[in-house]
Amino acid sequence: MNGNLIELDYIDLVISSGLIIVAGLISILLGLKIGKRLLLVSIRTVLQLGLVGLILKQVFAMAHPLPVAGLLFIMTIFAAREAVARTKRRYKGIYLDGWLAMTLSCLVVGGVVTQGVVGVQPWFSPRYVIPLLGMILGNSLTGVALGLDRFLQSLDANREQIELLVVFGASRSEALRDLRAEAVRTGLIPIMNSMAAAGIVSLPGMMTGQILAGSPPLQAVAYQIVVMFMIAAADAVGAMIAVMKASTRVMDSQAKLV
């Protein structure tokens, strides 16, 4: 980023792995029996991030929109899988809906941020587009997962009340209005908590990263504000799309529960 950046080499990484060994020793001393799992997830972290680093290096080098789009497409598929995996109740087509919610929120919010706010040049510049959209995906994943889970669970818990509205002639949107609102609200709780605590309880990850990479603190703050608003919008858009799609799956257009 600039001349202040202290580069990490392989020796630094080996030293940092000593920290994991400390955690492993604690596990052995206290009989936590998580030593093996700790070792496995550490290896997984190194392999996954190493792989991502290699892929990003290639994509950055190619400087073409197609590899960027391809990588983002794969990321949306994994994000959708992860979001749906966190819901307890499923329905047919839930993966497709999760993917759609993720992709649309990513495109809408990511489009506004990269093209409108940051003004990335060229428009697909992987150095900006991939991390920003990755952050949008990672966070709208939370919104989608929480929103969907809440919606489907309250649907089961409130079936009688929904039918009560239906027998008096409620349309689908009338019958599910309160449930939808509650579900989207639930999807937004984590980001609202983060926004309220930002800078006071913790320094958000991206800002910390930028400061470490040598950015002036005020620039890092500006980026972090954009990121916070972007995440809130992505959460809201993702949760809303997922819940709207789910409501058309669980109740037909004639307001009959399926």
> Where do contacts with other proteins occur on this chain (CB under 8 A)?
160-161, 163-171, 174, 254-257
Minimum distance of other proteins from residue 161's CB (angstroms) = 5
Closer of 82 and 163 to other proteins (Cβ):
163
Contacts of residue 90, Cβ cutoff 8 Å, sequence gap at least 6: 84, 152
Number of other residues whose CB lies within 10 A of the CB of residue 87:
22
Minimum distance of other proteins from residue 171's CB (angstroms) = 5
* Residue 113 three-state SS: helix
Minimum distance of other proteins from residue 149's CB (angstroms) = 21
Catalogue the E-assigned strands of the chain: none
As a residue count, the chain comes to 258
Q: Is residue 140 within 8 Å of 238, Cβ to Cβ?
A: yes
Closer of 150 and 238 to other proteins (Cβ):
150
DSSP string, 34-72: -HHHHHHHHHHHHHHHHHHHHHHHHHHHH--HHHHHHHH
Closer of 42 and 171 to other proteins (Cβ):
171
Minimum distance of other proteins from residue 241's CB (angstroms) = 24
Minimum distance of other proteins from residue 179's CB (angstroms) = 12
Closer of 141 and 250 to other proteins (Cβ):
250
Closer of 33 and 92 to other proteins (Cβ):
92
Short-list 69, 68, 97, 98, CA closest to 83: 98
* CA–CA dist 55, 71 (Å, integer): 9
Minimum distance of other proteins from residue 45's CB (angstroms) = 46
Number of other residues whose CB lies within 10 A of the CB of residue 117:
13
Minimum distance of other proteins from residue 183's CB (angstroms) = 17
* CA–CA dist 99, 141 (Å, integer): 10
Closer of 165 and 203 to other proteins (Cβ):
165
The distance in angstroms from the start CA to the end CA of the chain is 54
Closer of 12 and 174 to other proteins (Cβ):
174
